[in-house]
Amino acid sequence: MERIYLNGASGLKLAADVAGHPEHQPVVMLHGGGQTRHSWGALTRTLAGNGYRAMTVDMRGHGESDWCPEGDYTLDRFVEDVHAILAELKRPPVLIGASLGGISSLLAAGEGSHLPLHGLVLVDIVPRVEPEGVQRIRQFMSAHVGGFDSYEEVVAAVNGYMPHRKARPRSREGLRKNLRVGEDDRLYWHWDPAFISGDRTPGSVRNVERLRDAARRIDVPTLLVRGKMSDVVSEEGV
C-alpha cells in the first residue's frame, strides 16, 4: 500500500493508505471514533486484489492525520472532510463508513447537493442508535485518556471491553498501529484527547432527525451492515 496525504477541511492534512490501480473504481473507507485507518487494512488489500482502487483514511485527530488546533471535532467538520476527500478523486467512489465514519458519510451523501457518489456502505450505524451502547464506547475511550504503562495493560483493557472475544491480539504490531508513545514514554490511543473531552456526545444521539432527513434523501445504492452482537444498532434502529 502507498501512503498519501489528502486535504481535509480547514487545511488539515489527512493520512491515507491506497492500493489498487489508479484508474479502477475508487472505494473510500472511514473508520469509527477512536480508531485509525488500519481498521480497514485487510479490506483495503482485498478490494485492491479484486479490481478496486481502495483508500483507507485517518479521520481528523486520529492516527497520523493532523490534530485540529482549535479542537474542533464537531460533526459538521467531519462531514466537510468527507467532501474534501471526494473532491480529490477522479471518479465517484463507494463510501464505506463505520460508526463516526458512517455518520459523516451518511450526512455527506444525504445533505450534499450533487455529491459525486457511486454507493454507500454503513457499518454498525443508523440514524437512531442505542444510547447505552454509545455510552459504553464513550466510557471505554474516556477511561484510558491517561495512557498505559505497557502493552499488557492495553490488551487487558481491550479484553475487558470485548470479553466475548476468544482470541487475544496476535502481536504487538497490530496494537502499535492504534497507539502512540507520549513524551513520558507511556502508551496512548492514537487520537487527539480533545476528541473525547468535554461535551462530545456522538452526533447520532443528538441529531436523530437530521440523520433521518439525510437518510431519506440518499439516492445511491446503500448497504447497511450490522454486527449480530452490536449494542449500538438494534432491530428497531435498522
- Domain-wise residue ranges, the chain: 2-225
- Give percent of the chain with pLDDT exceeding 90: 70
Are 60 and 78 in contact, with CB atoms under 8 Å apart?
yes
Residue 169: band (very low, low, confident or very high) from pLDDT cuts 50, 70, 90: low
Three-state SS at 15: strand
Pick from 90, 144, 111: which is nearest to 212 by CA? 111
For residue 204, is pLDDT > 60?
A: no
For residue 73, is pLDDT > 80?
A: yes
Strand 25-30 versus strand 52-57 pairing type = parallel
pTM for the model: 0.91
- Give percent of the chain with pLDDT exceeding 70: 92
Residue 201: band (very low, low, confident or very high) from pLDDT cuts 50, 70, 90: very low
Q: How far apart are CA 41 and CA 167, in angstroms?
A: 19
Domain 2-225 carries which CATH code?
A: 3.40.50.1820
Structure confidence at residue 144 (pLDDT): 85
Q: How far apart are CA 122 and CA 101, in angstroms?
A: 8
